Chain A
């Protein structure tokens, strides 16, 4: 279970805003973390505490296929992301690198709300607003990848994809 504060962003946050292309050519996590969200929210690092949750509206992570986007968010200490829905490559990438992403089509989470996220069940309790939301169920293969902590540990464990 994750209990942390929500940082809320809008719709269609593209990967260029999550991590500009000019910083993506690196394998260094601190470089990625250092520039995360910088064009969108210059105060990101001032307000964000490791373990906090990113909350967004529609189509989070649209744009490029750069896995550096979820990697940068994870490296900056984001514990999980909640959005109404995601761009598909970002969604897959996040789960593959072990960053939990929940799709909640009808949330009304506001900035600063305290959330309690149950990853196993997809239940999210908004402590500030005394509300509960349910995330969309993932296909089994994605749930297994998420539970293994990402695609690397998943393939180490199962050696191959398991659909059922």
Chain B
């Protein structure tokens, strides 16, 4: 019999017997979280199910990140509901300014290798970077976990993505993942897991691995995982590897050296092209942040591009550090100072403009370039704006010149570090 994929192994360990792709299983859930978009409904469903006390308060986390601080009294009251629930139940609550759920869970070590973690947010697969099996779910499924401590799952088939070679200078994990989204398309991994292998990703930092797993949501995948080879964490852990003879539904091999800076053009994350092909399109709004690319290395990359320079006239640049920890780190190493001097506006840690809930909404006809993961029409709060997605470097270069720019596009006489 064939060996097991990482998903099959983690789910087998949790189910108490070997399970393979296609089988249904009931598994204990090691951790679970909900945000201010999804928690209020989950709390209500938990009550409707007859829930009085959480199955295990230590495993449940609430994060106020999607519209934080509250822009109006309606949302302020939902935040109150979450605070009251956390106090009454004794679960953790990460309040305004803590950061984006996925970064907060990672910073606070709430997800660890080999775990099953469920989140009421579609980018929960991000924790696959930590070698955990993590899926996004809706509020009622989360309520059931709050009540029972478990969930039912269909074990996903797995697509293996093998990446060889070195990325070119100026090309990042974001460009790589955009290429994977292009190849798999927005629904190409539906109901499946995406597992990343190869020496390129083995050399990746945790932050880079998070980029790869974050955007499996844009392939329709149930979860994403990076092989734990080369994974370094500040604590001891037992890695879960795929068996060498595991069976995959599909294998994709990518030559890292052949990847150029990529962008997704409006209105779908899988409309991916070389950034070069769109170089010169005028932009008025550049956004760096989100659970995809709002971490310290992303801000540092933007600072490298903008050090001693200024963003183009007519462009505004908004930066939302992914968490308070990211903000503190970017303050202490001077990254924030560089970015502010270059004309960027730093906003509080959280989802910010990503989902159009409370701040940084673009105007009609505006062209935005963003480091986010989604560019659906209306995503940032205005259906009459267009959104391009790119790496932090591409976004920073575009802000600097006022039009979509990448490493290889123009500005040859202007040396960029």
Name A's B-contacting residues (CB within 8 A): 12, 14, 16-17, 20-22, 24-27, 39, 58-59, 62-68, 70-71, 85, 87-89, 92-93, 96-97, 139, 141, 150-152, 155-156, 160-161, 163
Contact = CB atoms under 8 A, between A and B. Distances in A.
A101 B75 CA distance: 30
B357 interface: yes
A66 B381 contact: no
Nearest to A59: B187
Given A62-B220, A87-B220, A152-B49, A16 B140 contact: no
Given A25-B37, A152-B49, 7 more contacts: A16-B374, A20-B381, A21-B381, A87-B187, A92-B141, A151-B143, A161-B150
B41 interface: yes
Contact of B186 (A12, A17, A25, A70): A12
A139 B41 contact: no
B44 A27 contact: yes
B190 A88 contact: yes
A20 B136 CA distance: 19
Please give me the 4 A-B residue pairs with the lowest Cβ-Cβ distance, nearest first.
Answer: A93-B138, A67-B138, A96-B140, A59-B187
Contacts of A24: 37, 357
A26 B70 CA distance: 12
Interface in B362-385: 374, 376-379, 381, 383
A88 to B, nearest CB: 6
Contacts of B381: 20-22
A69 to B, nearest CB: 9
A17 B137 contact: no
Contact of A89 (B137, B154, B186, B356): B137
Interface string B6-49: 00000000000000000011100000000011101100110011
B181 to A, nearest CB: 12
B120 A139 contact: no
A156 B50 contact: yes
A14 B37 CA distance: 17
B182 interface: no
Nearest to B351: A21
Contacts of B38: 65-67
Contacts of A68: 37, 41
B248 interface: no
Task: Name the interface size band of chain B.
Answer: 35 or more
B296 to A, nearest CB: 26
A58 B188 CA distance: 11
Contact of B154 (A14, A39, A139, A156): A139
Nearest to B72: A25
Contact of B137 (A58, A63, A65): A65
Given A27-B41, A89-B137, A64 B356 contact: no
B144 A59 contact: no
Given A63-B374, A67-B140, A88-B220, A141 B357 contact: no
Contacts of A88: 190-191, 220, 222
A62 B147 CA distance: 27
B74 interface: yes
B22 to A, nearest CB: 10
B121 A12 contact: no
Contact of B37 (A12, A21, A93, A150): A21
Interface in B337-352: none
A85 B137 CA distance: 18
A163 B50 CA distance: 21
A65 B220 CA distance: 11
22 contacts: A14-B376, A17-B376, A21-B355, A21-B356, A22-B356, A25-B74, A25-B75, A27-B44, A59-B187, A63-B374, A65-B137, A65-B138, A67-B139, A68-B41, A70-B138, A85-B190, A87-B187, A88-B190, A96-B141, A151-B143, A163-B25, A163-B152
A39 B357 CA distance: 16
A157 to B, nearest CB: 11
Contacts of A22: 356-357, 361, 381
B138 A66 contact: yes
Contacts of B376: 14, 16-17, 63
B357 A21 contact: yes
A65 B268 CA distance: 17
A17 B66 contact: no
A65 B74 contact: no
B40 to A, nearest CB: 6
A65 B377 contact: no
B53 interface: no
A152 B137 contact: no
B144 to A, nearest CB: 6
